[in-house]
């Protein structure tokens, strides 16, 4: 079996895709999320990257769009600033939707471990949540 990369043959242009969706099916993107609105947990990767590197994952994506000529540098900076604006609040809401309380959420978002190893921390949280549920049901 051979894999064929879709974007090897079709130019990737997230803004054109968004415009087609708006025009054809009257779809509206979430504010400042024209190019990335696929998952409620995406903010956690952005937050971790921001704390680790000073730029969000989306910021790296915007930089690529600048290099491809799909965004100007000023547009990319504006989008990065909009992404960063409410990022911590967005993460808090996502973690709250997972059933975590404010104390745990604050520990997660402000821990060094979250920045350096999200996967390990999320597995630990899942294990801790399971233990808490067992204690509460006993």
All structural domains of the chain with their residue ranges: 9-137
Contact criterion met (CB below 8 Å) for 71 and 137: no
Query: Per-residue pLDDT for 117 more than 70?
Result: no
Distances in Å between the alpha carbon of 105 and those of 50, 75, 118?
17, 32, 13
pLDDT band at 3 (very low <50, low <70, confident <90, very high): confident
Q: What is the mean pLDDT of residues 115-122?
A: 61
Query: Per-residue pLDDT for 73 more than 90?
Result: yes
């Amino acid at each position: 079996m051979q894999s064929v990369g879709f974007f090897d043959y079709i130019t990737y242009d997230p803004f054109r895709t968004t415009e087609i969706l708006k025009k054809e099916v009257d779809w509206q993107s979430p504010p400042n999320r024209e190019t990335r609105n696929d998952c409620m947990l995406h903010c956690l990767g952005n937050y971790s990257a921001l704390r680790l590197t000073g730029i969000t994952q989306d910021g790296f994506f915007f930089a690529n769009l600048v290099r491809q000529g799909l965004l100007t540098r000023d547009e990319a900076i504006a989008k990065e600033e909009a992404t960063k604006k409410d990022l911590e609040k967005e993460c808090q809401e996502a973690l709250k939707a997972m059933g975590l309380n404010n104390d745990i959420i604050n520990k997660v978002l402000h821990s060094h471990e979250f920045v350096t190893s999200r996967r390990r921390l999320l597995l630990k949280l899942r294990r801790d949540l399971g233990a808490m549920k067992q204690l509460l049901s006993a």
